[in-house]
Chain A
Amino acid sequence: MYKFRVYNDKLYIPGIDATESWDFGNFYYKKNGIWTKKRTVPGAVHVMDIAEADGKICVLGTGIFRPGEYFDNNLLVSSDNGNTWIIADHQYNRPENSIFSDAILPWDGRFISRILAYQYSATSTTPFGPFVGGGLAQSNEASDYFSFLEPRIYINPKIIFQNKIMGNCSPQRTCFTSDLQNITYIDQFSDPSHIDKDSLSKVLRDQVIVGDTIYALTRENPIINQTKTSFKFYSGGIYSSKDLINWKKEGIFDFPAMPTALEYLNGAFYVGLSSNYDRDANTFIDDDAGSIYKISR
């Protein structure tokens, strides 16, 4: 599993890879101390994300490419707690093939996601034709079906902070929009994958909102082409902002593996570590992957 969401006092987990069959995707939630599994998402091998808003649940399901079938990229909306679904957006709903961001966010009683559209390929072996456009899309309050917001902006949403959608804009560019029309790059030098203007080597990995402040976890000075036996040095930064524009460095911390996840509880940060991968050796390289570090004053 790779993602948690909390909505309406429920802890959701999208089922990233159903093992039973490819006919239905799964999602899970915990409420009042009880875990519930729902194996109801049609045609979803992978349920990539889940959101809840105004009594409805929206999932992003992806499946294997099967021309002529709905076993592909879908945004699905349920009004009965995930028992039944309507396909709110699918490549066959529009003349283009579509792929989605890996995130769905609730927005003003609706759902927001990014859709990239490619010209539909008629062949059975090539799922995507040329890229033809895309942008942010939102569900329609009345019909649940998604439609592009105009003018179109290209932001892959990750989190909503102070009514602003923060995410990536074009390849690895960190940015936000507050009006769903205009993009503001967080990095003043427009270097996208970095949130600190003083350095070009701060890669945003995760973020958490605490009160009126958003905290970002970065991987500092990443080293490429590491191997299991090479010198490995991982450094993570925690930065804070109250407006997504001005960022303050809270601290830089050394870790024995790659920092990938950030959370905050009772005055302390928690950082989770993962591993780099040696592609040549096809091997995991960081023995301390999986470790959790607590960072507090």
Chain B
Amino acid sequence: MSTLRKFKKVVVAAGLSLTTTVWLASAVLMAPTALAYSDGDLLKDASTANIYVVNNGMKVWVRSAAVFDDCSYDWAKIKTVSNLSATPTADLIKSASNPDVYRLEKNFKRKLASTEIFTSYSLDWNKVGTVCQHVLDSYSIAPLIQQTSSPDIYWVQTDTLKHKMTSWQSFVDHGFNIADVIGINAMEMGSYSEGAEIGVTPTVTKSITVVAPNGGESYTAGNTVNIKWQSQEVSKVSIYLNDAPIGTAGGSDYSIATNINTVSDSYTWLIPGDFFIKNPEFATGNNFRIRIYNYTVDNNTATKDESNNNFSIVSAPLPMCSDSDNGINYEVPGTINGLSNSMATASSESDDYCLDQNTLIEYSCLDDHYQQKNTYTCPYGCENRACNKKPYTSIKIGNPGLVQFPNSDSGDRIARGVQDLQAYQGRIYVGDGDASNNRGPIKV
């Protein structure tokens, strides 16, 4: 069995810290020195726990566990490094399938619409990182742009369409954050088409009230939660799960749904069966509340509500591991059915197998749920997915008929010969004699 070491995997997504446990080979621990990394290397910053993918000598933040999985990255290949700051961060990215180059600023992306715009910023074509499409998609379009030296701020609706904010009041009314404004040059500003201006929003009374779950309910991962709310002057909402203590802000937010039309005032959420595995920053138990925000371009609006009290979510029971050869049984070819690692959500099968002529890979169950891989050197060789048994040896232990019938073919035709053997009460009984005749004693 290879040596395993237990690590904490921390993924930071949209400002949320996600912590989980993975099994990693001990060999992946990295020395705290700056190293050159290869394309596709997966690096975990030991200080921030952020996970990055390397391309073109630069690192790009993988913003969530979901993005990591969507890109089919391998959790077991994450290398933990202590000096990741020495590796440059890509601020220009593109996907492999599309030539569009995006510039990353303030954790937003914006498409550079032409090579002239790219050149106008004196950017280096050799410093464009190519990333998985899901990584690219995980960045939101920069919502607010402002031409340097101009007071006008624009809301960016799409990669090519902007809307001028007519006043500071309209900016405030729409819940925009001044910190999100990105300064761009005139050439880039001119690349956007201009849509209708955004004026002051008429004063309306907006409200959202979470109706259910509102505290005291109990749910199990893998089952559904019927989320209900009442709203006024709110057309769409975003729904989050949060675990901040009652009456406090912060905590971890899990995005359940966004851009939900309020016509129905309800939403059925299927709690993923692997919720606590994929989102280990949440602890099972009576820790949860639903937060519902007014959905606009930014969910952090003043119109929101949350469950009045905590409700409970507990883990779905893990599938049990089964082993056809009942544990470590080197001489029987077995098949195990269990979770392949702590991140697995469904059982899978693994067969015992011969690694070479003498080495057996024997699977057994670990902690009732997981597969454990054991390496064993077979003393008599490995064949057919199992160790060969110790060879038989054959020894003569006697000839009980010899004294009575020293010359067996005298008298009856074949007087001496074992016709039957019988184990009875711990002894072997020998039926001696000629099957065709009546000579023959019973020997014990």
Contacts and interface: CB of A to CB of B under 8 A. Distances in A.
Interface of A: 1-4, 6, 11, 13, 16-17, 19, 30, 206, 238, 250-251, 253-255, 257, 260-266, 269-275, 277, 282-284, 287-297
B151 interface: no
Given A272-B421, A292-B396, A292-B397, A16 B391 contact: no
A291 B418 CA distance: 7
B398 A292 contact: yes
Contacts of A206: 420-421
Interface of B: 389-402, 405, 408-409, 413-433, 435, 437-438, 440-442
A297 B419 contact: no
Contact of B416 (A13, A283, A289, A295): A289
A297 B394 contact: no
B437 A11 contact: no
B413 A284 contact: yes
Contacts of B427: 265
Given A206-B420, A297-B391, 7 more contacts: A1-B440, A13-B431, A263-B423, A271-B421, A272-B430, A284-B415, A293-B396
A1 B431 contact: yes
A255 B421 CA distance: 17
Contact of A297 (B389, B402, B428): B389
A270 B400 CA distance: 13
Nearest to A210: B423
Contacts of A30: 424
Contact of A290 (B402, B424, B429): B402
Question: Most chain-A CB neighbours within 10 Å: which of B398, B416, B426, B432?
Answer: B416
A295 B392 contact: yes
B441 to A, nearest CB: 8
A4 B396 contact: no
B422 A6 contact: yes
B419 A274 contact: yes
Nearest to B402: A290
Contact of A294 (B394, B415, B417): B394
B431 to A, nearest CB: 5
B152 to A, nearest CB: 83
Contacts of B431: 1-4, 13, 261
Given A260-B419, A290-B408, A274 B396 contact: no
A11 B422 contact: yes
Nearest to B405: A290
Contacts of B400: 290, 292
B397 A290 contact: no
Contact of A296 (B393, B413, B415, B429): B393
B429 A2 contact: no
A95 to B, nearest CB: 31
A265 B429 CA distance: 11
Given A19-B438, A290-B432, A263 B417 contact: no
Question: Most chain-B CB neighbours within 10 Å: which of A283, A284, A287?
Answer: A284
Given A261-B421, A274-B418, A292 B426 contact: no
A261 B416 contact: no
Question: Most chain-A CB neighbours within 10 Å: which of B391, B414, B418?
Answer: B418
Given A2-B431, A274-B418, A297-B391, A291 B396 contact: yes
Contact of A4 (B416, B424, B433): B424
Contacts of A297: 389-393
Given A1-B433, A290-B405, A292-B400, A260 B394 contact: no
A284 B393 contact: no
Given A1-B431, A19-B438, A292-B398, A261 B391 contact: no
Contacts of B408: 275, 284, 287, 289-290
B425 to A, nearest CB: 8
A17 B393 contact: no
A269 B393 CA distance: 10
16 contacts: A1-B432, A4-B422, A4-B424, A4-B431, A19-B438, A253-B392, A255-B394, A261-B418, A261-B420, A265-B428, A270-B421, A274-B419, A284-B409, A291-B398, A292-B421, A297-B389
B397 A294 contact: yes
B417 A251 contact: no
Contact of B414 (A255, A261, A270, A289): A289
Nearest to A285: B409
Nearest to B423: A265
Contacts of A282: 413
A274 to B, nearest CB: 3
B392 A250 contact: yes
A265 B427 CA distance: 8
Contact of B418 (A277, A283, A290): A290
Nearest to B435: A2
A56 B418 CA distance: 29
A254 B441 CA distance: 26
A250 B425 CA distance: 26
A40 B402 CA distance: 32
A266 B397 CA distance: 15
A290 B419 contact: no
A108 B424 CA distance: 23
Contacts of B399: 288, 290-292
A277 B415 CA distance: 11
Contact of B429 (A4, A264, A288, A289): A4
Contact of B419 (A2, A17, A19, A257): A2
Given A274-B419, A275-B414, A284-B413, A263 B428 contact: yes
